[in-house]
Chain A
Amino acid sequence: MLTFTLRRLLLAIPTLLVISLVIFLLVDLAPGSPMSEIPLTVPPDVRRKMMEALGADQPVFVRYVLWLRQFFWVEPATLFDGWFGTNWAGGEQRILSWQSRAPVFTIIGQRIPQTLTVIGTAYLVGVMIALPIGIYSAYRQYSLFDQLGTLFAMIGFSVPTFFSGTLIIIIFAVTLGWFPTKYDTNLSVTDWPSFVKQLQQMAMPVMTLGLANAAVISRYMRSSMLDNMGMDYVRTARAKGLTERVVVLKHVLRNSMIPVVTVIALGIPSIFGGAIITENLFGVNGIGAALIGAIHASDLPMVQTLAFIFAVLIVSFNLIADVLYGLLDPRIRYD
């Protein structure tokens, strides 16, 4: 097991290097320029000087090597310095966003909490809605409840969040006036009223995303339950005279959960990635909103760094899932 993990970890290094190069080249080759958002009243020679000041006129290879150095040396060193008061980074240039001239990692640090609270809660809510729907739909296949559950899932699948989000805003914010349409990022939860406020402003984005998440997971849960319901061991359990409750919730559910847990686990990196449309719609300043803003402004360092972080997360969560398999299921052995 340990050898396997070590081998996979070592293999991840060249994989990530290749991914970083591909991301860098793809983002760089994409058309667009950081100067495109600047008004036309700014003359061309001033634009050229601004590009030079950003370092955007350097050849792509030079910028790649510089970025690698900043990502793997300067940024960790700066972080270390921040913790222990050392001076490893020596004031070297960190990765700066072209749009805001602020260090990319500072921006990410500011945004991660919002993404984790809002998107994370939405994911949790989605899972909590999806599991009962999936279980009961499978148990009472083709019943009215199952049909309604299918309808719910189809709506969640097929209605895009920019539509459902706007609809939710019009119902709950404009007509009913219950929730604010813009997320207030400066709100700090200190007492009961501010906690209520936080809940209110989270309600609509969580609803929007929760619907989409629940739709997907409830379908997985339902089909996995159906697969197990017809198995011999279920018949045996019933023949033993166990109650339906025990049969479904102990025998069937436990076995059905294995693939569903995998799906849920592999969805976790996407929480860090944020939700581009929903965050933008409700003014949640999370990672997704940062990414789309950076793409619009052709802020290459920001896009490259974020895309690479997502790659790291996906590679590591895949590794974690593989290792967990071995731990959970005794039939799987890697050695």
Chain B
Amino acid sequence: MKLKTALLGAACALSFAPAAFADRGTDGEVKFTFPQAVSIMNPFLSSGTKDVYAASLVLEPLAGFDADGVIIPKLVTEIPTLENGGISADLTSITWKLLPDLKWSDGSPVTADDAVFTAAYCMDPAGGCAQLSKFDGVAKVEAVDASTVKVTFTGPKPNPYTAFVGALSPILQKAQFAACQGAAAPTCTDPNNMPIGTGPFKVTGFTVNDTVTLAMNDQYRDPAKPAFASAVIKGGGDAEGSARAVMETGEFDYAWNTQIPPDSQASMTAAGKGEFVVAFGTLVERIEMNMTDPDPALPEGERSTAKHPHPFLSDIKVRTALSKAIDRQILSDVGYGAGGKPTCNVVPAPDAWASDNTGCIAQDMEGAKKLLDEAGWVPGADGIREKDGKKLHVLYQSTVNPIRQDFQALIKDWWTELGVDVELKAIDPSVFFGGDAGSPDTFQKFYADVEMYANNSDGTDPETYLSQYQCVNAPSPENQWQGENMNRFCDPAYDAKVKVLTTTVDVAERQKIAKELNDMVTKDSMTVIPLVHRGTLSAHSNTLGGVKINAWDSEMWNVADWFRVK
């Protein structure tokens, strides 16, 4: 058997040899540029994407996702499933088997204890772990033997691929972080900046918010990888500058997050030094409707709460009319170019999870006007629609961002044509998303009629994301305005369906329920009106091979396979 395996291995190696794969460390340096500089290399203390992606070159989870969102083994022999017994029949535990002879970059062996420690590190109540939700419902993590990790959940868990899966939940080395647990976590500057990992690279130098230098990891499990001997990540500047450094001057090989206007995309591509790649995850730019009354005349504490339904947005005809008046294709073309496409779903991807809802894409101004007429809102002397002496006046808020202001202006035009008086408001993003309960301008307080921002589901399974629209999640004074159901959407049928989703195991059935839930908040009730499905636009040089952009995990998920095109 052993001989057969060896022969097979040799045969594989031979068959791969002509495919221009370089040996380890023969391709020089790969240079990344990020528009936001890397602050820390420990994803548990920062969920900023820049930090998570940079860390993914060094730290690895047990399993990750490929470009299609399919789970793939990284540090384990195989993905545990019900069939292979890795997941217990009652869905309360999952058992991972580590690869044999796995080593940290310092040469010490990777053991199940490291995973157990990582779980304890993140679940420590004083640590302020940013990825705590990855360990939701985890009762205990134990080492069955040196290479077997068993995660036990508090109840049946239909989607157990959360802890130790994906770039957000990697394994830390126990020996390095042992003194950094709990309250000490933020003070461990050196481990946080230069973690020891199992990935294709190891950190050799770290300048806060500027540069990370990395060298290939001699202990990496595949002796032929990575092709690059070193890597450097330079951060700072803006998306335009990063894109230029790859596409026009060719100083860098890969630029993450080069979200630039469509006309700049075209002119930079014309320079012929690189290409833009786009990955569509689940990020959707949307308008959220306020189902409650934000009237400033209401006493503080009752404004924008379930006590007072919205005077006109609680009428589905008005909400539908507002959605029909929008031309999503134009928005996508103007704002994002190749990096966007119009959508009617809050869960736009992966395909298997996305509803086939496309009814909103074609603009229907006449239909919209008819709906408002039917609802009793008729044009007044000044062209603004009114009903019972009240004008149809909409306060439309969003964050300060050039694309969002373009969207606001376009949508204002369409709504004005419809006979709606639109007032625009742009709020600093650090306030809007800051969640300060004392500020009137947070997106949770929603002291406006409609608001626009982007949100996404974490990973491929949208259960957590869809459960945000339950009644209990509405922000209100009782919960210090913390909650994710901005619309104050409240439908017992929706809540009941979410309950069903949390207990359903069969994937096809889960996908069906998710689509139904998606339709309930979008086309059935028009509570959320999705506009554009946004991708992440990145750029890579023509001399860099092997790039497969991925929206479900780190964009550098397969960096070990990257090579220099000669």
A59 interface hit (Cβ, 8 Å): no
Please report the C-alpha to C-alpha distance between residue A184 and residue B130 in the assembled complex, in whole angstroms.
31
Please report the C-alpha to C-alpha distance between residue A174 and residue B241 in the assembled complex, in whole angstroms.
11
A-contact 0/1 string along B165-184, CB 8 Å cutoff: 00000000000000000010
A-B pairs with lowest CB-CB distance, top 10: A53-B128, A33-B434, A32-B430, A285-B210, A41-B458, A44-B482, A100-B39, A36-B434, A50-B128, A101-B186
Please report the C-alpha to C-alpha distance between residue A102 and residue B51 in the assembled complex, in whole angstroms.
14
A181, B245: Cβ atoms under 8 Å?
yes
A6 interface hit (Cβ, 8 Å): no
**What are 17 contact pairs spanning A and B, CB under 8 A?**
A32-B430, A36-B433, A39-B47, A41-B456, A44-B483, A52-B128, A102-B208, A107-B208, A110-B210, A181-B251, A182-B245, A185-B211, A186-B207, A186-B211, A285-B210, A293-B209, A297-B39
A36, B47: Cβ atoms under 8 Å?
no
Q: Which of B45, B47, B483 contacts A101 (CB 8 A)?
A: B45
Q: Which of B47, B205, B236, B439 contacts A289 (CB 8 A)?
A: B236
A-contact 0/1 string along B233-272, CB 8 Å cutoff: 0111110010011001101100000000000000000010
A62 interface hit (Cβ, 8 Å): no
Q: What A residues does B125 contact at CB under 8 A?
A: 49
Q: What A residues does B209 contact at CB under 8 A?
A: 99-100, 107, 285, 289-290, 293
A224 interface hit (Cβ, 8 Å): no
A47 interface hit (Cβ, 8 Å): yes
A-contact 0/1 string along B411-425, CB 8 Å cutoff: 000000000000000
B435, A101: Cβ atoms under 8 Å?
no
Q: What B residues does A50 contact at CB under 8 A?
A: 128-130
Known A-B contacts: A100-B208, A185-B211. Give 7 more (CB < 8 A).
Answer: A33-B433, A39-B47, A46-B132, A53-B128, A101-B188, A177-B249, A290-B209
Please report the C-alpha to C-alpha distance between residue A103 and residue B40 in the assembled complex, in whole angstroms.
12
Q: Which residue of B lies closest to A44 (CB)?
A: B482
Q: How large is the interface on B (under 10, 10 to 19, 20 to 34, 35 or more residues)?
A: 35 or more
B482, A184: Cβ atoms under 8 Å?
no
Please report the C-alpha to C-alpha distance between residue A101 and residue B206 in the assembled complex, in whole angstroms.
13
Q: Which of B234, B433, B456, B457 contacts A184 (CB 8 A)?
A: B234
Tally of contact residues, A, Cβ under 8 A: 56
A46, B130: Cβ atoms under 8 Å?
yes
B15 interface hit (Cβ, 8 Å): no
Given A32-B431, A36-B431, A53–B39 Cβ distance below 8 Å?
no
Please report the C-alpha to C-alpha distance between residue A33 and residue B444 in the assembled complex, in whole angstroms.
14
B455 interface hit (Cβ, 8 Å): yes
A186, B213: Cβ atoms under 8 Å?
yes
A296 interface hit (Cβ, 8 Å): yes
Please report the C-alpha to C-alpha distance between residue A180 and residue B248 in the assembled complex, in whole angstroms.
11
A33 to chain B, nearest CB (A): 3
Q: What A residues does B47 contact at CB under 8 A?
A: 38-39, 41-42
B210, A182: Cβ atoms under 8 Å?
no
Please report the C-alpha to C-alpha distance between residue A143 and residue B209 in the assembled complex, in whole angstroms.
49
Given A31-B434, A35-B435, A46-B129, A174–B248 Cβ distance below 8 Å?
yes
The residue among B129, B185, B208 with the most chain A CB atoms within 10 A of its own CB is B208
Q: Which of B46, B238, B249 contacts A180 (CB 8 A)?
A: B249
Q: What A residues does B208 contact at CB under 8 A?
A: 97, 100, 102, 106-107, 110
Please report the C-alpha to C-alpha distance between residue A170 and residue B327 in the assembled complex, in whole angstroms.
35
Chain B contact residues: helix, strand, loop or mixed:
loop
B249, A173: Cβ atoms under 8 Å?
yes
A217 interface hit (Cβ, 8 Å): no
B347 interface hit (Cβ, 8 Å): no
A116 to chain B, nearest CB (A): 16
B128, A36: Cβ atoms under 8 Å?
no
A200 to chain B, nearest CB (A): 12
Q: Which of A31, A93, A102, A174 contacts B244 (CB 8 A)?
A: A174
A137 interface hit (Cβ, 8 Å): no
A283 interface hit (Cβ, 8 Å): yes
A335 interface hit (Cβ, 8 Å): no
A48 to chain B, nearest CB (A): 8
Please report the C-alpha to C-alpha distance between residue A285 and residue B47 in the assembled complex, in whole angstroms.
22
A182, B37: Cβ atoms under 8 Å?
no
Q: What A residues does B428 contact at CB under 8 A?
A: 31-32
A228 interface hit (Cβ, 8 Å): no
A54 interface hit (Cβ, 8 Å): yes
A-contact 0/1 string along B18-40, CB 8 Å cutoff: 00000000000000010001011
B232 interface hit (Cβ, 8 Å): yes
Interface residues in chain A, defined as those with a beta carbon under 8 Å from any beta carbon in chain B: 31-33, 35-54, 93, 96-97, 99-103, 106-107, 110-111, 169, 173-174, 177, 180-182, 184-186, 280-283, 285, 289-290, 293, 296-298
B48 interface hit (Cβ, 8 Å): yes
A66 to chain B, nearest CB (A): 14
Q: What A residues does B456 contact at CB under 8 A?
A: 39-41
Given A35-B434, A100-B40, A280-B237, A182–B130 Cβ distance below 8 Å?
no
A43, B133: Cβ atoms under 8 Å?
yes
Please report the C-alpha to C-alpha distance between residue A289 and residue B208 in the assembled complex, in whole angstroms.
11
Please report the C-alpha to C-alpha distance between residue A329 and residue B250 in the assembled complex, in whole angstroms.
56
Q: What A residues does B464 contact at CB under 8 A?
A: 41
Q: Which residue of B lies closest to A91 (CB)?
A: B187
Please report the C-alpha to C-alpha distance between residue A289 and residue B241 in the assembled complex, in whole angstroms.
15
Q: What B residues does A42 contact at CB under 8 A?
A: 47, 130, 133
Q: What B residues does A283 contact at CB under 8 A?
A: 234-237, 241
A-contact 0/1 string along B321-349, CB 8 Å cutoff: 00000000000000000000000000000
Please report the C-alpha to C-alpha distance between residue A282 and residue B428 in the assembled complex, in whole angstroms.
25
B429 interface hit (Cβ, 8 Å): yes
Q: Which residue of A lies closest to B207 (CB)?
A: A110
Please report the C-alpha to C-alpha distance between residue A185 and residue B464 in the assembled complex, in whole angstroms.
42
Q: What A residues does B433 contact at CB under 8 A?
A: 33, 35-37, 40
Q: Which of B133, B186, B244, B436 contacts A46 (CB 8 A)?
A: B133
B77 to chain A, nearest CB (A): 30
Please report the C-alpha to C-alpha distance between residue A279 and residue B436 in the assembled complex, in whole angstroms.
31
